Amino acid sequence: MSSKNEIEDKEIQDFLKFMKVADSEIKERGKIYKFKCPICGEEASGIKNTYNGHLWAQCEKCKMNVIQ
């Protein structure tokens, strides 16, 4: 019954994990950072907007992406 919810929970957990790592790795605004994707272990990249600090990050390998 709950298998669909479990998949969604996993996706949310992965997303939050990815966002947390991206947010802690990307310290300086307006600069592209490379970091290890917490989901697949491949290289991910991200940047924080110079103006408002919004976070953008993505992993090419597992297609995880965050736009905050």
Contact with Zn ion (CB under 5 A) among 47, 57, 59, 66? 59
Q: Which is nearer to Zn ion, 5 or 24 (CB)?
A: 24
Q: Under the criterion CB under 5 A, does residue 62 sit at the interface with Zn ion?
A: yes
33: left (phi > 0), else alpha (psi -120 to 50), else beta? beta
Contact 56, 47 (CB under 8 A): yes
Distance CA 61, CA 12 (A): 18
Residues 19-48, interacting with Zn ion (CB under 5 A): 37, 39-40
Residues of this chain that bind Zn ion (CB under 5 A): 37, 39-40, 59, 61-62
